[in-house]
Structure 1
Amino acid sequence: MTGGGRATRTAHEALPPAMREAVDDFADHLARVRNRSAHTVRAYVADLVSLLDHGMRMGCSQPSELDLTVLRSWLAKQRTLGAARTSLARRAAAARTFSAWAHRAGVLPSDVAAPLSSPRAHRDLPTVLRADQAAALVEAAGNGVAPTRRDDPTEPTDATRDDPGDTADSRDDPVRLRDRVLLELLYGTGVRVSEACGLDVADVDHSRRVVRVLGKGGRERSVPYGVPAQRAIDDWLRSGRPAVAVPGSGDALLLGARGGRLNPTTARRIVAGYAESLGLPRVSPHGLRHSAATHLLEGGADLRAVQELLGHSSLGSTQIYTHVSVERLRAAYRQAHPRA
C-alpha cells in the first residue's frame, strides 16, 4: 500500500486479500495513471480502506459485493462520528472515483457509486490581507524584521529541515535573503507553498521574469513575477544560496539553513512568524495566495487570467475570489455609507 498512516496500514492489513489487492491497484492507478499527488493518494486510500472495512463489517468479503446501500451506510456512519461536510464530500468523491475505476477494471460488476450524492461542501470565504498589510509582510525580511520563533517540539527534525527562527540580525544573512524570496514569490505569483518549495533554479526565467511551476496533476504553467521578486531572487542566488548550499542541495531554488530543499511545513512557519512579528492577522502561505488573487481581481484583472495564474483546472475554484471582493465592498459600504 502506498502511503497512509499507521491506523490505515493496520486496517489495510486486516482486509481480505481481494480487498487489499483492490486498494493497492487503485493507489497505483491514482499515482501512475491519474498522476495524483502523494497527498491525494494517501487521502483516497485512507477513505477506501475505511469504506472496505465498513463493508467487511456488513458482511462483504469481496470488493464486488459493495453496493449503494453499503456506501450510504458508510457515509452515514462518518456523519454520526462528526465528520465535517468537507470531509464527507471528499469521502464520497473517493468512493465515486474508486467505483468508476473498479467497474472499468472488472473489479465491480457495475459503477455502484454513480448515483451516490454527497453534501455540498461549505466554503468559507478565505482570510485576505489588505494590500498594505500584504506589502508589509512581503517586505518584512528585507526591512530587517525578525520573525517570531515558531518551533514545534513535536515535529521531528532532520538534516534537511531548517529552523525559521535561526536568523541573524544582518539583512544580508542567507536565511533572511531566502525568506525574502519565499515571501515575494508566494504573494507576487500566487503559487501554492508546495509549488514554491518545488522550484528549481532552472525554473526561473530571468529574461522574461516568469517561473515555470509544476502544479496539481503534473500540470505545468508559467507565472510572471515583478521587479521586487527579481531583486530578491538575484540577491539570494548571488549571496544567499551559495552560502548554505551543500553537495546534496541539488537544483532546489529555496534551501533550508542546512542546505536541503525548503520544506513546506517550515515555509508555513516562516510566513506565520513574520506576520506575528508585524502584528498582522494570522496568515498562511495559502492566505497570501488568496490575497494575491483578490488584489488582482480588485485591480481589474480578468477572471480567466487569474485562473491561469493560480493553476485552477475549474473556473469555479477561481470565482470564490469574486465573492471575497464583493464582501469587502459590502463591508466598506456598511462602514462608510450614511444610508447603509
Structure 2
Amino acid sequence: MTTEPARVRSLRPGIGLAAAIDAYLHTVTSSNTRRGYRAALDALVAEFGPDTDVALLDPDRVDVWFRDRWGAVSAPTFNARLAALRSACRYWREQTWLVGDPLTRIRPRTIPADRSRAMTRAEVTALLDGNADLRERVLWHMLYETAARAEELLELDVADLDTANRCARVRRKGGTVDVVAWQTGTARLLPRMLAGRRTGPVFLTDRRAKPHVAVADIDPDTGRARLSYRRAAELFDDHTTALAGGPYTLHQLRHSRLTHAAEDGTSTPMLMTLSGHTSVRSLAKYARPSKDALLNWQAATDPAARRRR
C-alpha cells in the first residue's frame, strides 16, 4: 500500500502576483515612488506570470532572473530595483501571503564614495514638499534644518523639546548634551504630529510595542514604540528610490544642510555649532561646496561675463 506524501496547507488562500502587487502599490502614497517601484514589479510579473502565487516565488529562480535583468545596470539602479522588490516582499509577509524571502540571495551593490554626495537645494525642496506621511515629513524637515544625526533625533523624547524656541536637547556622538534648533518647516509640522502628547518618544512606530521593548522607548498613552533607525532608513530609501538622483540616505540630509550653509557663507564656528563637530578637520568633508555652487561661482566671477554686463 502506497501513501501520498503529506502536503503542507497554507493558513490562508494564496494570492496571484498581479493582485498582490496591486494591493501593495495601493499602500504607497507617493506617485513618484509608485512609478519607480512599478518598473521592478512589472518586470517580476512579466517573468513569473500574473497568476503565480507569491508564496511560490523561488529564491534560486528569482536570483537568476534579477541578475539577468539588472546585472549590467549601474549600482544605484540595481539597488533601487532591489529596494522596490524588498519593500513589496515586506508587505506581503505582513499579509501572510509570503513566508520566506525570495530575495535572500541578492545583496545590494556597494556604491563608491562620491565627493558630491550633498543633495541639491532643488532635490531637498522636492523631497520636503512631497506627499510622504506626516511623521516622515517631520523627521526629514528636522534632519535638514538642524543638520543633526538621525540617531540623535530619533532618541528625542517629547520632554526634550522646547517648541516655543524651536529647539531641543540632544545627546551627541560621544555622549555630549547639546542643543539643536530648527526652522519654520519643522515648527509648522511638529505640533500636528505630537497631537498634544507631552511624554514618550517624539517619533513613534505605527504599531504597539512588543513585550521586550524597554519602558523608556514606549509612549505610555498609545503603547507605541520609538521609531528605530533601521525602519526610518528603510522608509527614506523606499520614498527616494523614484526621485531624480535617488535613492538617498538619511545622512545626506545632514550633509546637504552643512554644504548649503557653507555655500551661503556661514562662518566656521557657526558650522561647527550647527553640526556638533569639535574639530575643523571633521567638518571639512561636509562643508565642501557642491558642483552647482562651483558652476554658479565660476559664472559669477567670469571676467568676460562681467565685461558683457
Q: 3-state DSSP class of the match of 1:179? A: helix
- Name the amino acid aligned to 1:263: S
Is the 8 Å Cα contact of residues 126 and 290 (structure 1) preserved in structure 2? Answer: no
1:212-269 per-position Cα deviation (integer Å, ceiling 9, x unaligned)? 1111111111111011101111100118x79xxxxxxx72100011121011011112
Query: Across the two proteins, how many residue pairs are aligned to each other?
Result: 177
- Name the amino acid aligned to 1:197: L
Distance 2:290 2:140 in 1: 26
Aligned position for 2:155: 198
Deviation of 1:125 after TM superposition, in Å, equals 2.2
One of 278, 281, 284 as aligned partner of 1:313:
278
Alignment of 1:110-189 (within 5 A): 125-140=115-130, 144-145=131-132, 176-189=133-146
- Name the amino acid aligned to 1:265: R
* Length-normalised TM-score, structure 1: 0.47
Distance 2:177 2:303 in 1: 49
The 1:298–1:330 alpha-carbon spacing in structure 2 relative to 1, beyond 3 Å, is closer
Distance 1:196 1:126 in 2: 25
Distance 1:300 1:256 in 2: 38
Aligned position for 2:229: 264
- Name the amino acid aligned to 2:165: R
Query: Is residue 255 from structure 1 mapped to residue 204 from structure 2 by the alignment?
Result: yes
Is the 8 Å Cα contact of residues 116 and 291 (structure 2) preserved in structure 1? Answer: no
Is the 8 Å Cα contact of residues 233 and 250 (structure 2) preserved in structure 1? Answer: yes
Name which structure has the greater RCO, CA cutoff 8 Å, separation 6+. 2
Q: 3-state DSSP class of the match of 1:221? A: strand
* Length-normalised TM-score, structure 2: 0.51
Aligned position for 1:219: 176
Deviation of 1:331 after TM superposition, in Å, equals 4.3
Deviation of 1:300 after TM superposition, in Å, equals 2.1
One of 325, 329, 332 as aligned partner of 2:289:
325
Alignment of 1:1-340 (within 5 A): 125-140=115-130, 144-145=131-132, 176-238=133-195, 251-258=200-207, 259-322=224-287, 324-325=288-289, 327-332=291-296
Is the 8 Å Cα contact of residues 303 and 319 (structure 1) preserved in structure 2? Answer: no
- Unaligned ranges ≥5, structure 1: 1-121, 146-175, 243-249
Query: What root-mean-square deviation, in Å, do the aligned CA atoms of Structure 1 and Structure 2 show?
Result: 2.9
Distance 2:145 2:191 in 1: 15
Deviation of 1:338 after TM superposition, in Å, equals 10
The 1:330–1:178 alpha-carbon spacing in structure 2 relative to 1, beyond 3 Å, is closer
- Name the amino acid aligned to 1:204: L
The 1:273–1:238 alpha-carbon spacing in structure 2 relative to 1, beyond 3 Å, is same
1:92-138 per-position Cα deviation (integer Å, ceiling 9, x unaligned)? xxxxxxxxxxxxxxxxxxxxxxxxxxxxxx98525111112101112
Distance 1:276 1:338 in 2: 41
